[in-house]
Amino acid sequence: MNDQKEFEQTENGIETLGRYRIARRIGRGGMGEVWLCEDPRLIRQVAIKTLPAHNQQDKNFAKHFEREAEAAAALNHPHILPVHDYGKQSLPDGTIVSYIVMPYISGGSLADRITSASQQQLLLPLQDTLAFLEQAAQAIDYAHKKRLIHRDIKPANMLLREDNWLFLADFGIARIISSEENLTGRSVAAGTPLYMAPEQARGKATITSDNYSLAVVAYQLCTGRLPFENKTALATMMMHQLEPVPSPRQFNPTLPSAFEQILLQGLEKDPAARPALACEFVAQLRQAISNPTYQPTPLQTVHDLPRLDFQERTQTQQPDEQHARISRRDLLLGGGAIATITTGVGLGAWGYWQTTQGSQKSLPTPQYISARPKNSGDANAPALVLTGSLLNANNLLWSKDASLLFSLEYTYTLFRWDVASLLKQPDKPYGSTFYSGKLSYPDNQLCATISPDRTQFAVANSEWDDTKTQVALYTLDLRLQSTINMPPSGNFGAITWLTNNNLCFTRYGSDDLNSNKAHSYLYVVDPTRPQRQWTILLNTLITSGGKTSGGSPVATVLADPTPDSSRAVIGYEDYLEVGKVTISNNATWTVLSRIHVKISSSKTSQWIDWTPDGKNLVMLTTRDTTHPQGRVVYMSASMSKPPVQDLNTPSIAGLESSVDGYNCLACNPNPANTPPLVAVGTADGNIYIWKLQAGSSYIKKLGTDRIQAGVATLAWSPDGKWLAASFQDNQASILIWKIG
């Protein structure tokens, strides 16, 4: 195979790759080239990575390329650049070029941002740096959970949208290039030497090799220079192998000592001593920046998380003894340790990036960030505007005294916001955070609820695998109180805490992938005695001949708010069940009333709520010919066919006909409010408040600080005086209003 041959449009006269029309080359590196192309079928621009050309007879390369491309295409994560397509193209000289089709991201890469800041003798803003590292860490942890190692983590492979949303690119490329099937049995250390972990240079990449590379990126972002850099690739790798890491504070004295301690653990020579979870590593870096008195806690290693202690291996590779260190002689003479380096210093898979050596960068002038709204003079303006999370919250939970708010992203992170402190002091030093605590999770579909006395909260799906689905219980200061292991049948869809203190979860799915039956379950557990668990079968759906019978899938569960109650409402796609959970030796679900309504499958989880007296249900229904944007209705919870009362809803301009206008609602829990107040969030980012009376119009429209994005979820404080809302904007904003 001629692995140096480049695919050149001008030389070969090739104007298309498959169905894609070539516009121009936008990147070149040691592992291929990137072309801007037009997709005539879907009428969009795409970026196509072409790999070095190979002979048509090289069947091993073709098989390996397809296997790695399919593995990369299977990754589904908001911070991983997706693979749209892949293929191969014959060239006039008889060789084959393989290619991978991805979205075109026009905002450049993190390498471009670093270069631009370097030219001005500046570092990137610290808040941006931490956000970039967090997004990359989430993508890395997700891939490791899928047993994939990237091998080329670097700024040039971190592509950015204009709103600073980061995509990690080039999964599988380094492994294709380094495959022994591809290079006739020679061991290859593919990657970029400036960011390459010592063991990866010996051809033995592990998950902590990726984490090492991320730590190099963190070092570079926070000091303005790389920890190791020399004139040649081999010399640079020798430095990674043999030399101690220069103190980051030597180049940036403003970095806290705790930050340096955490960063240096990420750069340990021994892969087993490094953090196993990239998210945990970055979370502690942020803590060290935001809290001057922060004392790092031990980061989990692969010894603590043995399921992550895997090593990808090619078909011909044999087990070999691991060495903690490698000598200069080993590096120079090779001995099979480093036979081929596929990329040069500063040369990456997405193009050429020139680093600046030697000069120390000046730090930006200290600034402040503020949680104050832009238009604080407006009577309906929020009291606080909170940012700092990457994804919008799907759960908002208040403490009993409304001093704390907890927000949970759907897949990754739970944040603790000290609302009382922020109201007193909304301004923070630049580089700090508005949130006062944070818990990170693997890529799971998280859901949360708070106890009736609001002294603890539960996070479902905090961990799950083939042996269990875990529910974690925490105190309000984010200390893990206990964990409950539930049956290993997949994620729970919803969670609620009955006021009689039992936890309830719903789950829908098939026990057998080949079965035409799917089941809806209600799980009940006593959190004080977690061994007391019960499973209740709600219904079984049977699909035959394209038709489904037996009911509809369970969608949510919500506890009756009245004291010491065993009642709850279970929502399905086209009806509600109000019932009670009875526990003796077994648990049973007794249906008290069934209400037939139609909800939208596009609704958030917060489409139904109880009035504080437990007598009525308030909900959002899907659009129909009479109500093209949906309805806000309420009805008795004790009748099977109750009269449905509508609120007079405003028209929402500019929505597509296929989109419901109303996203979420929340009923004020204070029983002193008669009639109760109901807040509704819309798809265009507005929040309206009604008094719950048939035919009534809204009494208040809240100011949303110029945010023009859908409302994701709402939550009233227990005393009914505060309302919080999360938004689907780029900042994943959370706004808080004082009501009344």
Annotated catalytic residue, options 39, 141, 152, 660: 152
Helix%, strand%, coil% for the chain, nearest 5: 20, 35, 50
The three-class DSSP label of residue 41 is coil
Q: Render 155-190 in DSSP notation, one character per residue.
A: GGGEEE-TT--EEE--TTHHHHHH-TTTTTT--EE-
| 233 backbone dihedrals φ, ψ, rounded to 5° | -60, -45
39 is catalytic: no
Dist. CA 391–CA 384, nearest whole Å: 18
Q: Backbone phi, then psi, for 318, in 5-degree steps? A: -105, 150
Residue from 435, 117, 133 nearest 263 by CA: 133
Cβ within 8 Å of residue 159, ≥6 positions away: 81, 105, 107, 108, 109, 110, 166, 167, 168, 169, 350
Side by side, the strands of the sheet bearing 711-716 are: 384-386, 734-738, 722-727, 711-716
**Strand, coil or helix: what is 607?**
coil
Cα dist from 85 to 16, 81, 478, whole Å: 14, 12, 43
Q: How many whole angstroms separate alpha carbon 189 and alpha carbon 151?
A: 9
- Alpha carbon distance 3, 53 (integer Å): 7
The number of helix segments (H) and strand segments (E) in the chain equals 13, 44
Residue 73 in tokens: 């295409």
In the structure encoding, which two tokens stand for residue 309, read together?
């202690």
Report residue 678 CA to chain centroid gap: 31
Name the amino acid, one letter, at 227. P
Please tell me whether residue 487 adopts helix, strand or coil conformation: coil
CA distance 526 to 516: 33
Q: How far apart are CA 144 and CA 309, in angstroms?
A: 10
* Total residues belonging to the chain: 740
What is the rounded distance in angstroms from the CA atom of residue 260 to the CA atom of residue 158? 23
112 CA to centre of own chain: 24
Q: In Å, what is the CA distance from 617 to each residue of 4, 398, 607?
A: 68, 21, 10
- State the maximum Cα–Cα separation within the chain, in Å, rounded to a whole number: 85
Interhelix angle 207-223/257-266, nearest 10 degrees: 140
Cα distance between residue 349 and residue 172, in whole Å: 11
Closest of 89, 79, 78, 93 to residue 49, by C-alpha: 89
Tell me which residue of 216, 195, 110, 116 sits closest to 159, measured CA to CA. 110
Question: What positions carry a catalytic annotation?
Answer: 152
